[in-house]
Amino acid sequence: MKPQDIVAGKASSLWIFGYGSLVWKPDFEYRRSQVGHIQGYKRRFWHGDNFHRGDAELPGRVVTLIEDDDASTWGVAFEVTGAEVEESLKYLTVRETVRGGYVTKTVEFFPDGEEQPSVPALVYIATEDNALYLGPASPEAIGVQIAVCRGKTGHNLEYLLRLAEFMRSSCPHVEDHHLFSIEAAALNMVSYLLAAQ
């Protein structure tokens, strides 16, 4: 479902699932948030960013979701209600679609913890046909790229470290090998660069 369809339908409530910077910086009003996961997708640093965390000459790397029937991705879902629905979708259209090149899909979100029912949630995904899509690379190559990039929102390294910290503090039972191997590679590069000065 597209954001404009949701607004046109005058939805009174909507869940939005975040798995990257939205987990620590939603920047929109919401009624409540919950940690949990979606199934059938894996989080990967395969999307380029030439605005928030990089520029045209040196794009940063940010996460997208890749379909994988056996995978799940942990993050935060935000429930927006009333006027928040339209306002949050306007904001996210600029942040994620116009500047980030993401498209929207509807997924089933499973809250962590107590036996709570799943809810449909809107998610933003960058696909392979996006001009900013960079695709796979080794953790070392991605880590080096992240260590040296900066955009209008800040250093690409901050994005990586905040996401890793979220996973450690909010989802300590989840092992995200892709994320943590890139974090280690990026921190090794930063140590190398600092030692070389």
Q: List residues with catalytic annotation.
A: 96
Distance CA(35)–CA(44), nearest Å, equals 19
Distance CA(128)–CA(67), nearest Å, equals 11
Distance CA(171)–CA(169), nearest Å, equals 6
3-state class of 127 per DSSP? coil
3-state class of 83 per DSSP? helix
3-state class of 22 per DSSP? helix
List Cα–Cα distances, 142 to 17, 58, 67, 146, 179, in angstroms.
24, 12, 20, 6, 10
Dihedral sign computed on CA atoms, order 61, 150, 184, 179: negative
Of 67, 31, 50, 77, nearest to 149 (Cα)? Answer: 50
Distance CA(163)–CA(168), nearest Å, equals 9
How wide is the angle at C-alpha 55 spanned by C-alphas 51 and 60, nearest 5°?
A: 80
